[in-house]
Amino acid sequence: MKRILFWSILTAAIVGIFFFMKAVFNGSLILNPYLVSIGPLRIKWYGTIIGSSVIVAYLLARHQLLREGVKEDEFLLGMVFVIPFSVLGGRLYYVAFTWDYFSKHLNLILDTRTGGMAIHGALFATFLMTAVFILLRKKIKGRCSFTYLQAMDAFAMVVPFAQAMGRWGNFFNYEAYGAPTNLPWKMFVPVQYRMPQYVNYKFFTPTFLYETVADLLVFYIVYTFTQKRRTRFGQTFALYLILYSVFRFFNESFRLDSLWLYNLRIAQVVSVILIVIGALLFSYTSKNGKKVEEVIKS
């Protein structure tokens, strides 16, 4: 009975989502970017989804972390320490590559209400500040219950799912879409959200959806790998760098809002670099990394 109820609810949810997406994509339903807008209280779907993705990611990683002997309160403290820097990194990375605009609007550098975040900036800040947190814990407490590569594995195991969720924030904001198209799955974009040079076009490539699918596929691969195939710490992190970067490289070519350096898309350049780093890291950790079986609890 429970199984029947589960599949009935799941089927109803899928059907409901299908018709909701169909209405949005054909333009018969226009999305409101605000979940709550009452007087001065204004909460966007984007922020709500991003916040929820962090919670979901932690819950997905929790069981694995506890099996590895990681202290839950210490890992949560690490998240509280790192996340603000990740947000700041995502913003400053975006500002750096759109400096022509922000150099004339310095007061808007930290104002994210109109958009402007870059996932690569957030990732780099996460990589750096996780190392800083571990060093601080060792200096203050004398030790940390997890190593850097152990933390990065936990991050890489679940962050693709969080990224997939985050792309739906782009959906509600009508952003991160691609070139005009007449494909059957084309997405209607209201005129106020269209880029100036494309104001006369109505339907665009839903690149946010492409990346959602790619992120979910990466999540499935790295999560399954971690649970069944990983033998040394750092392998999951390396695999994530490779897989995510491959998908991002190809998906970036469809987008209209890419960050550019001369005639190069920054995300594609970074993706190539991360693929190389990921391959080298996987090779190194597979031979020299700390064995998972030495620390994991049965």
Instruction: Please tell me the least confidently modeled range out of 221-225, 256-260, 275-279.
Output: 256-260
Are 128 and 103 contacting, i.e. CB atoms less than 8 angstroms apart?
no
**What is the mean predicted confidence (pLDDT) over 230-255?**
96
Q: Which has the closest alpha carbon to 237: 177, 171, 290, 164?
A: 290
Q: Which has the closest alpha carbon to 86: 45, 132, 35, 46?
A: 132
**What is the mean predicted confidence (pLDDT) over 89-103?**
91
Question: What is the pLDDT confidence band of residue 272, given thresholds at 50, 70 and 90?
Answer: very high
Provide the token pair at 92: 């400053």
pLDDT of residue 38: 87
pLDDT of residue 114: 67
Q: Rg (Cα) of the chain, in Å, rounded? A: 21
Largest CA distance in the chain: 63
Cα distance from N-terminal residue to C-terminal residue, the chain: 33
Q: Mean of the per-residue pLDDT values for the chain?
A: 92
Place of tokens 């990065």: 152
Q: Is the pLDDT of residue 298 over 60?
A: no
Place of tokens 């679940």: 158
**What is the mean predicted confidence (pLDDT) over 195-215?**
94
**What is the mean predicted confidence (pLDDT) over 60-85?**
92
Residues 286, 125: Cα–Cα separation, whole Å = 25
pLDDT of residue 25: 96
For strand 34-38 and strand 203-204, is the pairing parallel, antiparallel, or unpaired? Answer: unpaired
| DSSP label at residue 294 | G
Provide the CB-side half-sphere exposure for 197 (13 A, CA): 4
Provide the CB-side half-sphere exposure for 283 (13 A, CA): 6
Q: Is the pLDDT of residue 236 over 90?
A: yes
Question: What is the pLDDT confidence band of residue 297, given thresholds at 50, 70 and 90?
Answer: low
Are 228 and 236 contacting, i.e. CB atoms less than 8 angstroms apart?
no
Residues 255, 248: Cα–Cα separation, whole Å = 11
Are 109 and 102 contacting, i.e. CB atoms less than 8 angstroms apart?
yes
Residues 60, 217: Cα–Cα separation, whole Å = 16
Instruction: State residue 261 phi and psi, 5-degree precision.
Output: -125, 105
Q: Is the pLDDT of residue 113 over 80?
A: no
Q: Please report, rounded to a whole number, the percentage of residues in the chain having pLDDT higher than 70.
A: 98
Residues 130, 213: Cα–Cα separation, whole Å = 28
CA dist list (Å): 277 to 17, 89, 132, 234, 270: 38, 20, 20, 12, 10
Q: Is the pLDDT of residue 11 over 80?
A: yes
pLDDT of residue 29: 95
- For the entire predicted model, the pTM comes to 0.92
**What is the mean predicted confidence (pLDDT) over 222-251?**
96
